[in-house]
Amino acid sequence: MTEQSILNWLRKQKNVEGIGDDCAVLNEWLVTTDMFIEDIHFLRSLPPETCGYRALARGLSDIAAMGGDPRWCLLSLALADWCGERWVRGFYRGLLKLAEKFAVKLVGGDLSHSNRVTADIVVIGFAPKGKALRRDGARVGDGIYVSGALGGRPVLPEPRIAFGKKLRGRASACMDLSDGLSLDLKRLCEASGVAAVIDLPLPVAPGATIEQALHAGEDYELLYTAPRKAGGTRIGTIVRGKPGRVEFFGRKLAAKGYDHFRSNRGD
């Protein structure tokens, strides 16, 4: 059972629509949900402000990946016994500080408890009707671009909202690099029914290796394809081929990025 096999099955069920992109597109409204779970996405030792920041950053990055403007968020938060009041306040403080930066209002949520801190962030934003970026539009001949340096795993990643908005009407496909370039580019190519060739130097973050630039998740940079450059760094080209196949300087690239339901879970 992989995330993909669940999604493939789910798509065939009744009353299911448009699943699999970073956000659901409801007319011009975008809604995204992202979980942030102790021991999976963060460790207890991380400062609470950083946890709150990162929980919201995940959702904002999904809105950025669709070229959207974030507006509201809701937070479902299950606290564990070890969470004191200071931790809870710190978590909200970190989240609200980032929210303020993007003029996003926290408008609701749910409070519960569990044996691991579990947050689920809902972000609501919008894009002009028909302008939301999707991952299924890459065309043979498009360039492949990333918005910034890869593999750095920043502690406080900056959601690429402005970059995403600039791509409206210019990018043929876009997504955020939450699970690593090798896996995310594969997904973009599968969704678009194309293959990809990476044949230009990757912008590697200071201190990171090429392996990390290729496979480390949580970059939160944007990956996009376009007939013409619209910002960032070109790394390759969309080509005809087996959907989802990615070549890296002449060799097939294994998708080692993060999948919650594969054997690398917990990496």
- Using CB under 8 A, which of 44, 46, 50, 76 touches a second copy? 76
Q: Which is nearer to a second copy, 33 or 233 (CB)?
A: 33
Contact 171, 227 (CB under 8 A): no
Window of 88-96, 146-154, 192-200, 242-250 that interacts with a second copy by CB under 8 A: 88-96
Measure the CA dihedral 135/102/45/90, to 10°: -150
Q: Which is nearer to a second copy, 126 or 163 (CB)?
A: 126
Window of 76-84, 135-143, 196-204, 207-215 that interacts with a second copy by CB under 8 A: 76-84
Q: Which residues pair with 146 in a beta bridge?
A: 223, 233
Contact 248, 201 (CB under 8 A): no
CA dist 16 → 9, 24, 29, 192 (Å): 11, 11, 17, 20
Instruction: Write the binding mask 101 to 140 for a second copy: x where contact by CB under 8 A, - elsewhere.
Output: ---xxxxxxxxxxxxx-x-x-x-x----------------
Q: Taking the complex as a whole, how short is the minimal distance between the CB of residue 11 and a second copy, in angstroms?
A: 10
Window of 96-104, 129-137, 192-200, 215-223 that interacts with a second copy by CB under 8 A: 96-104
Q: How many residues does the chain have?
A: 267
Angle at 138 between CA 132 and CA 141, to 5 degrees: 140
- Using CB under 8 A, which of 85, 206, 240, 251 touches a second copy? 85
